[in-house]
Structure 1
């Protein structure tokens, strides 16, 4: 079975590469030093510091594997290729939230980069799915726990 593509913006790609570098170069050394120090304390069977350091090492190695897999399967969205005639990944959209009668702005990204608190929503989220393909003036319908929420597309830009 083919692995799922990881859709990333150029900024998202850079952040993942930087995180991978940090994990491999800095964090691995820090944890190796912690393990070395804990071993020096004697009996490893009852050494909580050793267990914690080994657990941290496992988490770092697991994250490295995940990032490397994402980078192998990355599909980077070229900002120059983004068509602002309709909403797609890499677009910044200004919407009118009909329920709260206010304007909101979101940046549509791949699921790896999503951070709703910062206004970046995944193309796979309910709102992202409802927005993909819409044009200025169209209305998007999103099913929420409290019922259906409507958004009107006011503007589509590159980030």
Structure 2
């Protein structure tokens, strides 16, 4: 089975979501199904249909999360090099053309969330950053053409 790199924080967040689903979401939905079933005719019962659809979503999400936990390889960032960008590094980039700066943490695909500043090491930008040292140029081949960045710092 192939493993997926993940930070301790990411692993704990997945475990917390599994626990919430098992202790809160699933029991609440079971109760909603029972209440909808009590209303009688299920063929025209929108509440029952919605609760069953929600049950399907909950069970699917639970399977997905448990798979991710089962294939997770927790990486200790303290054991990784600090002089170059690697998994779990937080980097500061500058777009050379616009001078706009960006701060990202390099994570595995399970944890990536651009809105939280977490990019996957398997993404095009993540691949371009990994292995770079402060002061080095990063060239990203984007759909709209090449973009040039400088790695300003590794935090």
Into which bin does the TM-score normalised by the smaller protein fall? Answer: over 0.9
Cα displacement string for residues 35-94 of structure 1 (whole angstroms, at most 9, x for unaligned residues): 000110111111111111011001000001001001011011112112112211100011
* Residue ranges of structure 2 left out of the alignment (5+ in a row): none
TM-score norm. by structure 2 comes to: 0.95
Q: Counterparts in 2 of 1:134-153, with a 5 A limit?
A: 134-153=132-151
Cα displacement string for residues 120-158 of structure 1 (whole angstroms, at most 9, x for unaligned residues): 11111111011111112211110112210011112113x
SS of the counterpart of 1:46?
coil
TM-score norm. by structure 1 comes to: 0.93
> How many residues were matched structurally?
155
Distance 1:5 1:65 in 2: 16
What is the match of residue 126 of structure 1? Answer: 124
Kindly report the root-mean-square deviation, in angstroms, between the aligned alpha carbons of the 2 structures: 1.1
What is the match of residue 8 of structure 1? Answer: 6
8 Å Cα contact 1:87-1:133 kept in structure 2: yes
8 Å Cα contact 1:6-1:71 kept in structure 2: no
SS of the counterpart of 2:104?
strand
Distance 1:93 1:44 in 2: 55
* Residue ranges of structure 1 left out of the alignment (5+ in a row): none
Cα displacement string for residues 92-127 of structure 1 (whole angstroms, at most 9, x for unaligned residues): 011121121122211111111111122111111111
8 Å Cα contact 2:77-2:87 kept in structure 1: no
Q: 1:17 Cα shift? A: 0.4
What is the match of residue 112 of structure 1? Answer: 110
Q: Show structure 1 runs of 4+ deviating over 2 A.
A: none
SS of the counterpart of 2:84?
coil
What is the match of residue 28 of structure 2? Answer: 30
Distance 1:27 1:6 in 2: 27
Does structure 1 residue 46 correspond to structure 2 residue 44?
A: yes
